[in-house]
Amino acid sequence: MEDLLWYKNAVFYEIYVRAFADGNGDGKGDFAGLTSKLDYLVALGVDCLWIMPMYPSPLLDDGYDISDYTHIHPDYGSMQDFKTFLTAAHDRGLKVIVDLVLNHTSDQHPWFQAARRDAKSPYRDYYVWSDTDRKYSEARIIFVDIEKSNWSWDDAAGEYYWHRFYASQPDLNYDNPSVQEEMRNVVKFWLDLGIDGFRADAVPYLFEREGTNCENLPETHAYLKRLRHFIDIYYPGRILLCEANQWPEDVRPYFGEGDEFHMGFHFPIMPRIFMALRRGDRSPLVWITGRTPPIPESCQWCTFLRNHDELTLEMVTPEERQWMWQEYAPEPRMRLNLGIRRRLAPLLDNDRRKIELANSHLFTLPGSPVIYYGDEIGMGDNVWLRDRDGVRTPMQWEASPGAGFSSVDPGQFYLPLIDAKPYGPEKVNVVGQLSDEGSFLNTIRRMIAVHKQNAALGWGDFGWVEAGDPAVAAYCRGCGEGERILVVNNLSGKPIQMPLSGLGARRLVDLFDSTLEIETEKEPVLVLEPYAYRWLRLV
């Protein structure tokens, strides 16, 4: 029987199709290229691919500005190429979810074009118009570096239109039942094609109400619940993953009683992994796990270290944000909006120990881990590129000048390859790391494998374990007495001896190497090298 709860202990992998592999030699990644790399992803061990928007789009927000919801961007190939990809992925046991942008369209979408030209068009009411730009003044601006208002004037319409993101992304009007139905039909279209679900983009902002901050409104939840109900009836086993960059108590309602989203990103825990690591102190993690409410049994968090956006610092205090900027984005170019536009390896000084330690948290804290393409080989970034392009550069497959990304001259790539030492393809690439048993890529492969073999890491409850030293983040993941895993992370650059007496008489078996055993009665302390981590089964 099909496992309807497959996502509870799955490992996700986020793919930007343009960046992954170019199959037709035009310098841009496409579905043919991605299909040719599926065996790599199978060997990596991930379970589900998350495909960033692949729809026709003027690409002013890299495809999050959709001008046609039911086709494939010509850069990425044809609908047939997409179907071939999907079948090939499914044949290999991989699930595929795609981005679903509900909140807004591109201003090039025919609906918006019709709406702005003609006040009597049925499409006029697909968007949110006003003769003043002062409505909903309590709604924050998200892209603060570029946008000064959530309203933009449209000459053709003679009115202002509402947008939570770029002005080229007008918000849809969810008070209009036709909009609700259109988007449900989009959902149906892709599910009928066989995809396994959606990463639902920017869901807190669907409705607007005066006197509120226009986020997480009851009307928004009601619509999303109806969407979920539709999926449950016709497409059981397909999932909705919620992108709500909110505090845990505000994300909690998106799970409903197990009748809204299956999954939700845990945004606030992400910066706290970086905070804990830099401070050598687990307190930020203790604080946020304590503030995270339980979720229904059928639901799951998604944890991540980095993604295609800036490392957002919205879910921290202003003081913490300043500190994070100072520590992790010392140069102004590294900052964007309320975040940091850098990749994982450069953020962590390209220090293998710290990068592994961050991943140790990713794979063992509650939730299903999401890996951002390229982070599994320690790719670098380029802060000189615009917007978030610096973390969206071509995947580095091999050491050749074109990095194996495309057959065309690298000068024609959609974005330049990373060339800054030591992150260029001659050093950082898939082929080199696959053939090196001790490479970072092979460590990630082992982490993925161990995660999948141990149901407790997906299903288990979570509890902190007293470790003596605040620099040690030690916690238990467990499913009752049956399977208990002790995870120990040394957040500091100093060696630490962690007493094991609190565990009683136990045998601890290393999850990476079962020949490594500790008898707590004989060895009452665990010696942790700087930035070391251990994943241990309690027997």
Instruction: List, by residue number, the catalytic residues.
Output: 201, 243
Nearer to ligand GLC, 243 or 376 (CB): 243
> Other CB atoms closer than 10 Å to residue 350's CB: what's the count?
15
State how far the Cα of 253 lies from the Cα of 296, in Å rounded to an integer. 11
Give the contacts of 165 (CB within 8 A, at least 6 positions apart).
61, 64, 103, 104, 142, 143, 147, 202
The amino acid at residue 303 is T
Shortest distance, position 203 Cβ to ligand GLC, whole Å: 10
Least distance to ligand GLC from the beta carbon of 312, Å?
9
Residue number, 381 or 469, with CB nearest to ligand GLC: 381
Contact 82, 194 (CB under 8 A): no
**3-state class of 264 per DSSP?**
strand
Instruction: Specify the residue, 165 or 325, whose C-beta has the smaller distance to ligand GLC.
Output: 165
Which residue number has the CB closest to ligand GLC? 64
Rounded to a whole number of angstroms, the minimum distance from the CB of residue 61 to ligand GLC is: 5
Sign of CA dihedral 158, 159, 160, 163: negative
Shortest Cβ distance from residue 66 to ligand GLC (Å)? 9
Angstrom distance (rounded) from CA 203 to CA 196: 19
Q: How far is CA 405 from the centre of its chain?
A: 23
In the bound complex, what is the minimum distance in angstroms from residue 241's beta carbon to ligand GLC?
12
Q: Pick the closer one to ligand GLC by CB: 147 or 517.
A: 147
518 Cα distance to chain centroid:
36
Q: Where are the beta strands (DSSP E) in 317-359?
A: 335-336, 339-340
530, 353 contact by CB (below 8 A): yes
Cα separation, 98 vs 49, in Å, equals 8
DSSP one-letter string for 1-58: ---TTGGGG--EEEE-HHHH--SSSSSS--HHHHHHTHHHHHHHT--EEEEPP-S---
Beta bridge partners of residue 519, listed in sequence order:
507
Closest CA relative to residue 398, chosen from 361, 419, 426: 426
Strands 339-340 and 311-312: antiparallel
Closer Cβ to ligand GLC, 308 or 343, answer by number:
308
Amino acid (1-letter code) at residue 424: G
Q: What minimum distance in Å lies between the beta carbon of 466 and ligand GLC?
A: 38
What's the CA angle centered on 288, arms 480 and 376, to 5 degrees? Answer: 80
At 434, which amino acid appears? L
Min dist. Cβ of residue 142 to ligand GLC (A): 8
The residue ranges that bind ligand GLC (CB under 6 A) are 61, 64, 101, 165, 201-202, 243, 308-309
Nearest approach in angstroms of CB 101 to ligand GLC is 6
Pick between residue 201 and residue 375 the one whose CB is nearest to ligand GLC. Answer: 201
104 or 445: CB nearest ligand GLC: 104
Nearer to ligand GLC, 121 or 168 (CB): 168
What are the start-end ranges of the H helices in 235-317?
248-255, 269-279, 283-290
Residue 239 pairs in a beta bridge with 197
Q: Backbone phi, then psi, for 510, in 5-degree steps?
A: -65, 130
